[in-house]
Chains A and B, each alone.
Chain A
Amino acid sequence: MTRKLHLFMTSALASSVAFGAQAQDNSVTVVLSEELEIVEPCSSTKSNVGRVLFQNISETVTEMDPHTGLQPRLAESWEDKGNGTWRFTLRQGVTFSDGTDMRADDVAHSLVRMKSPDIACEIGAKFFGGIEITPNIIDEYTIDVTANPAQPILPMLMSTVTVTPSDTPLDRFVDHPIGTGPYTFDEYIRGQSITLTANPDYWGEQPTVQSATYVFRADSAVRSAMVAAGEADIAPNIALQDATDPAMDFSYPNSETVFLRIEHAQAPLNDVRVREALNLAVDREAFVGTILADGTLLATGITPPSTIGYDADLKPYPFDQDRARELLEEARADGVAVDTEITLIGRTNNFANVLETMEALLAMYQDVGFNMKLEMVEVAEWLERYAKPFPENRGPQLIEAQHDNANGDPVFSMYFKYHSEGQQSGLTDPVVDAMIADATAATGDKRAEKWSELFGYLHEESIADVMLFHMVGFSRVNERLDFTPSIRTNSELQLSQIQFN
């Protein structure tokens, strides 16, 4: 019996050493919250796909850096040729992981493929919807790209375009992505793990991390436990309650903004006083450090403060219940149906403590006299109410939404959220439409100025929505790594930026 016990303890000790050890000195293990449904570069703007593929396997034509702005990546330079056409000069000496050279025809093919009608590419649908893109190869390393309608920010849009070889099929997704990035896609054991290894022929500097394994665990507590136990090195996106170790846990603005979308066509929400009252009735500061994480910022606009044109001088609406009640009384006196029941709609599991947040909002609105009820719905039902065409006979609704913009420019948000034709817009305001068109067409400082004007108009004059919070994300990083998560960690995780302590 004693011998058996010794044997068990020895085995247990040996196994604990094995589990505790990191894979190899220069390898990392990343534990993700969900498995990748596809490993398709043209869908790598999906956060779960992007964390594995984006800039690791598949590189983009340009690269948007939140700190330094738009940078070269596979294109060394670009220039505006007028009439919606931009000329991109590509980097020479770049090869794909299958050994072929990267040339202009690959970029042209990637642009055609992302708009292919036979596959639903995320990048094409998300960033190039309604835009006709025509590539024109000038020579092996020069390509003209024409957008119709003209896109003054086409070089920025090209920061989303992942380049794949010209023989990549147009009618189906790939299951073994080929790219020019610093890593090659080695193995995908479905349901279990993905392995990448450093690309020895990479055109740029060799990364310190020589291989990476991605595993998938749905539960945040398990992901954080894996890093604590030494089984994983990075756990992006853990829950607030699991971020308990200051030595390993990082909080950072995660580029998500939470707000209540108001559909202006429905009474009583068509009255600006009612919309102002909706803003004044919320004690935003009471949420921070209680049911939302410390560091959560109060929002005045739909994009995070790092986007160009964000107006830092705008002030969040104060918590003023008396003024909210006065505004409702004024509206009632003018015949506005302020007693109409408003449905407050929340999306289940949208962010940590979303239910508590929605219940607190409901209580605050009822306190000032709104006739309101709360409905929490799952994502599919939420989408049917949030995006056009809106349901018939829906009545007045406030819909909680969380919007992600880590790209640095409000154009990615403003059209869809506020333009009359925008898929999720609750507004039909020609002034806003014109301002969006102006800002979209502008460049440089003028562009920032015009976006600022739009932020101000939406916040103070139109009172378009109830802006709530710029959210904070948490990631756990093993102390052996020299890596600080940032706003981009929400959608990508560039292994080449990781060093070891």
Chain B
Amino acid sequence: MLKFLGTRAITSAISLVGLVLLVFFLSRLTGDPTGLYLPLDASEESRNQFREIHGLNDPLLIQFFNYLGDLIRLDFGDSIRRSEPAIDVVLRGFGWTLQLAAVTMSLVVFFAVIVGSLAAFHVGGVFDRIATFFSLIGASAPDFWIAIIAIVIFSVNLGWVPTSGTGTVWHWVLPVSVLFIRPFGLILQIVRGSMITALSSAYVKTARAKGIKNRPIIFVHALRNALLPVITVIGDQAAALLNGAVVVESIFGFPGVGKLMIDSILQRDFTVVMAAIMVTATAIFVMNILIDIFYSILDPRIRY
């Protein structure tokens, strides 16, 4: 296991270096940020001053090596837009994204596994049809539309929950609900399909023949074997959430890393873009390693 972890850490680090290289030069291809930060009427003198302050006057390779030198000291540089350390800006946003992703994925996994398993057990029945119908709608509905409609109904008309913001637990209801719908629909379908296969396997028939009740058959015997493909999809969905739920963050005023990343790209705030990508990439590498470890726990045949 230690060897596996070491190998994964090294390959992740290599990928991270490749990512740094790629993003550094690609982001610079978008052009000079000076025009975006200074007024249109700014003199050439002011523009040169701005470039000097932010190290943009140096040749690109020099900029890159300066950046790497700083990075080794864990100095990600200052945000051009916010005049504060880029890593502070990113970690602040990433904290919100992590919380949002954790709450949403916990609920998604809990409900998708239960509903998907029951739908598979009653395959073709009313419960299965209703679950399939709503999961397909959930997996395909545009979240920006759901978000706006939810605000109009539940906040403006009914006044049950706040429109947006982060102040209380009630502020989390709408964003989590909107984020919940799509991965719930998708994972429910994977659980259902995987469970149908598992429930028709020989060991389940044997368990039934031995008189074991339905609940342990579903949630103990079949589910454990059906979970491997589900874990893979959960990992994909969690990674997508860690990248930031841009639409939901924008609409509900959640100061997460997704919106920050998009804003920073549009504003050519290179240091924040780099820091955001490195932080999210690291988080996804860590999550992938955890998923691999979880595989081996679920299936003793998998050994690293």
Contact = CB atoms under 8 A, between A and B. Distances in A.
A6 interface: no
Given A120-B50, A215-B253, A221-B148, A16 B160 contact: yes
Contacts of B77: none
Q: Which of B30, B37, B41, B266 has the largest number of chain A CB atoms within 10 A?
A: B41
A19 B170 contact: yes
Contacts of A40: 83
Q: Which of A119, A120, A172, A231 has the largest number of chain B CB atoms within 10 A?
A: A120
A172 B85 CA distance: 13
B16 interface: no
Nearest to A216: B253
B164 interface: yes
Contacts of A19: 155, 159, 161-162, 170
Interface in B239-255: 250-253, 255
Which size class do B's interface residues fall under?
A: 35 or more
A19 B162 CA distance: 6
Contacts of A219: 148, 250-251
Interface stretch (A295-303, A366-374, A376-384): A376-384
A222 B251 contact: yes
A38 B83 contact: yes
Interface residues of A, number: 49
A124 B156 CA distance: 44
Contact of B151 (A15, A191, A215, A222): A222
Interface string A378-413: 111101101100000000000000000000000000
Contacts of A423: 40-43
Nearest to B39: A126
A217 B39 CA distance: 24
Contact of B46 (A120, A229, A416): A120
B31 A379 contact: no
A118 B83 CA distance: 12
A226 B152 CA distance: 10
Interface string A1-36: 000000000001001100110000000000000010
B26 to A, nearest CB: 14
Contacts of B221: none
B104 interface: no
A130 interface: yes
A336 interface: no
Given A191-B93, A191-B96, A383 B36 contact: yes
B96 to A, nearest CB: 7
A15 B253 contact: no
A289 B252 CA distance: 31
Nearest to A19: B162
Interface string A174-218: 010000000000000011100000000000000000000001111
B129 interface: no
A228 interface: yes
B42 A125 contact: yes
A35 B264 CA distance: 13
B49 A117 contact: yes
Contact of A222 (B33, B39, B53, B163): B163
A8 to B, nearest CB: 10
Given A130-B43, A218-B250, A225 B155 contact: yes
A416 B40 contact: yes
Nearest to B41: A416
B160 A387 contact: no
B156 A225 contact: yes
A289 to B, nearest CB: 25
A125 B46 CA distance: 7
Contacts of A175: 84
B42 A126 contact: yes
Contacts of B45: 129
A231 B156 CA distance: 10
Interface string B164-175: 111010100000
Nearest to A349: B266
A329 interface: no
Contact of B38 (A125, A218, A226, A384): A125
Interface in A33-75: 35, 37-38, 40, 45
A191 B257 CA distance: 11
Contact of B35 (A215, A217, A228, A380): A380
Contacts of B162: 15, 19, 229, 231
Q: Which of B93, B152, B253 has the largest number of chain A CB atoms within 10 A?
A: B253
Nearest to B170: A15
Nearest to B255: A191
Contacts of A381: 31
Contacts of B253: 192, 215-218, 222
A117 B81 CA distance: 17
A424 interface: yes
A173 interface: yes
Contacts of A119: 53
A359 interface: no
Contacts of B36: 379-380, 383
A122 interface: yes
B259 interface: yes
Interface of B: 30-31, 33, 35-43, 45-46, 49-50, 53, 81-84, 89, 92-93, 96, 148, 151-152, 155-156, 158-166, 168, 170, 250-253, 255, 259, 266, 268
Given A35-B255, A125-B46, A222-B164, 10 more contacts: A15-B160, A125-B42, A125-B43, A190-B92, A219-B250, A228-B156, A229-B162, A379-B36, A423-B40, A424-B40
13 contacts: A15-B160, A19-B170, A20-B159, A191-B255, A192-B166, A192-B255, A219-B148, A222-B163, A226-B164, A231-B163, A380-B268, A383-B36, A387-B40
4 shortest interchain CB distances as A-B pairs: A191-B255, A16-B159, A126-B39, A383-B35
